[in-house]
């Protein structure tokens, strides 16, 4: 008895045969039935997908998309290419997935739906964030450009912000700072001042991760011109952090970075705060442990001060 997947594959092959039949011409049929062929390709793709025959499903969607493109139906072509991209992701074919998703975004733009194009690029970036972060950065930046052309600063800020955080993860700090500064520009246009304060904190943490106190301090002073920033909790915390960094006071700095306002930042910024190194070489993640060990050592010294030092065997030296 045939299994469910075998039945679905047979069903898909039958729809492919019917699609080919729709495209044939004859003495009494001068034009191919494109609409009929597209419908059959889509049915074939669904059948193959249900059978988990992802390669055959992908090829069926691509054929449907190519036909939709030839009859000047970019929106439906985009939907088909988008499905092909999703199936490539299922097969872990990430480069090919990006190719089809970018083509789908282009078709959405041709159809006059740039918002959908930007969302398509955003989906593609999320697909490859873990395996191909460089491609994800490119896709988020591209989505930002599409949103900017449509005069949508909020969406532009979200996309370029995702790119900036990935650049931090990839240790591309200079590029990250440029992206995050661009994000602030978009939030200014959108008049969303709360987000500006959080991104400003991230930029200063990136500067300090590069051990560039001067750039961090200059940027902090420029932020004082932003609405609602100067009297904010974020500004006070950053001022305390910069003072501790300038003084080389790791203990004071670790106390500042232990505040909830730093702990509840976006993951990449919170990680920078956790791993911050102050002049002197001690990171905040180790400073507490060192302080505790020193206090224990002092207690031990006080307790054993009256005892004579034991002679250490020469073979252990």
**pLDDT tens, 46-67?**
999 999 999 999 999 999 999 9
Instruction: Name the pLDDT band for 2 (thresholds 50, 70, 90).
Output: low
**What's this model's pTM, rounded to 2 decimal places?**
0.84
Average pLDDT over the chain, rounded to an integer = 89
Instruction: Name the pLDDT band for 292 (thresholds 50, 70, 90).
Output: very low
Instruction: Name the pLDDT band for 287 (thresholds 50, 70, 90).
Output: very low
Q: How far apart are CA 105 and CA 108, in angstroms?
A: 5
102-157: pLDDT as tens digits = 999 999 999 999 999 999 999 999 999 999 999 999 999 999 999 999 999 999 99
- Among residues 109, 143, 148, the alpha carbon closest in space to that of 126 is found at 143
Q: How far apart are CA 142 and CA 109, in angstroms?
A: 12
Please determine, for residue 304, whether its predicted confidence score (pLDDT) is greater than 50. Answer: no
Q: How far apart are CA 229 and CA 148, in angstroms?
A: 25
pLDDT at res. 279: 87
pLDDT at res. 288: 44
The sign of the dihedral angle between the CA atoms of 153, 159, 165, 171 is: negative
Cα–Cα distances in angstroms (integers) from residue 232 to residues 190, 216, 239, in the given order: 19, 18, 11
For residues 160-171, average pLDDT: 97
Instruction: Name the burial class of residue 231, with classes exposed (0-12), middle (13-18) and buried (19+) by CB atoms within 10 angstroms of its CB.
Output: exposed
């Amino acid at each position: 008895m045939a299994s469910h997947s075998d039945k679905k594959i047979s069903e898909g092959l039958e729809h492919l045969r019917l699609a080919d039949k729709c495209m044939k011409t004859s003495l009494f049929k001068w034009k191919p039935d494109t609409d009929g062929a597209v419908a059959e390709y889509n049915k074939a793709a669904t059948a193959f997908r249900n059978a988990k025959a992802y390669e055959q499903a992908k090829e069926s969607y691509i054929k449907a998309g190519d036909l939709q493109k030839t009859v000047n139906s970019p929106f439906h072509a985009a939907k088909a290419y988008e499905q092909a991209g999703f199936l490539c992701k299922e097969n872990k074919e990430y480069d090919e997935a990006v190719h089809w998703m970018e083509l789908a975004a282009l078709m959405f733009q041709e159809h006059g739906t740039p918002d959908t194009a930007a969302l398509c690029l955003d989906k593609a970036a999320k697909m490859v964030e873990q395996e191909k972060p460089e491609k994800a950065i490119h896709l988020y930046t591209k989505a930002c450009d599409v949103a900017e052309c449509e005069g949508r600063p909020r969406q532009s800020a979200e996309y370029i912000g995702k790119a900036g955080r990935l650049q931090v993860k990839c240790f591309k700090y200079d590029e990250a700072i440029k992206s995050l500064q661009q994000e602030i520009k978009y939030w200014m246009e959108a008049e969303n001042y709360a987000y500006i304060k959080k991104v400003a904190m991230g930029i200063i943490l990136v500067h300090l991760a590069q051990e560039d106190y001067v750039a961090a301090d200059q940027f902090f002073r420029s932020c004082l011109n932003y609405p609602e920033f100067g009297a904010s909790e974020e500004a006070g915390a950053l001022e305390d952090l910069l003072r501790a960094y300038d003084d080389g006071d790791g203990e004071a700095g670790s106390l500042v970075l232990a505040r909830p306002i730093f702990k509840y930042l976006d993951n990449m910024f919170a990680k920078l705060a956790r791993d911050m190194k102050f002049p002197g070489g001690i990171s905040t993640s180790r400073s507490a442990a060192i302080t505790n060990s020193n206090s224990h050592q002092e207690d031990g010294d006080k307790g054993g001060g009256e005892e004579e030092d034991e002679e250490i065997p020469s073979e252990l030296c």
